[in-house]
């Protein structure tokens, strides 16, 4: 039985880097889609509904879009620049998501709605990349 477990684990250890890549692609694409959804600038939804200034609303949209793009591109930079970019993007995701929770979803804290929504997983993804960086 141990031989089965060893072969099973050896087989999937060859694909460890893919797990991080899939998470990176999922989070990156989500941010690209969220950012593009706020164009043209300034995003009326953020200025009208949340009362953000046109500058701040545009900054959020550009930040979301660029975060997704940089997160994906940084995967292919196997050097200190890619590592630093990944951590900076992770920090940006954490900041964006915490602000989103405080501005748009204050009533979600420690509720079922928080843990069944994509925002908590984007926050966790941001924490993952902030802590892990671009290391294999």
Mind listing the pLDDT tens digit for each residue in 29-86?
A: 999 999 999 999 999 988 998 888 999 999 999 999 999 999 999 999 989 999 999 9
**Domain segments of the chain as ranges:** 18-132
pLDDT tens track for 81-118: 999 999 999 999 999 999 888 877 777 667 777 767 78
Residue 13 pLDDT class (50, 70, 90 cuts): confident
Most confident of the ranges 5-9, 25-29, 52-56: 25-29
**Contact indicator for 126, 90 with CB cutoff of 8 Å:** yes
């Amino acid at each position: 039985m141990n031989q089965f477990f060893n072969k099973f684990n050896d087989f999937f250890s060859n694909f460890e880097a893919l797990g991080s890549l899939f998470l990176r692609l999922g989070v990156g694409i989500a941010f690209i889609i969220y950012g593009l959804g706020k164009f043209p600038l300034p995003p009326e939804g953020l200025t009208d509904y949340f009362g953000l200034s046109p500058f701040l609303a545009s900054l959020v949209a550009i930040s979301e879009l660029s975060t997704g793009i940089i997160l994906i591109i940084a995967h292919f930079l196997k050097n200190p620049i890619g590592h630093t970019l990944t951590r900076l993007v992770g920090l940006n995701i954490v900041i964006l998501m915490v602000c989103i929770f405080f501005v748009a979803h204050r009533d979600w804290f420690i509720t079922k709605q928080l843990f069944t929504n994509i925002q908590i997983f984007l926050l966790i993804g941001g924490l993952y990349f902030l802590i892990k960086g671009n290391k294999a």
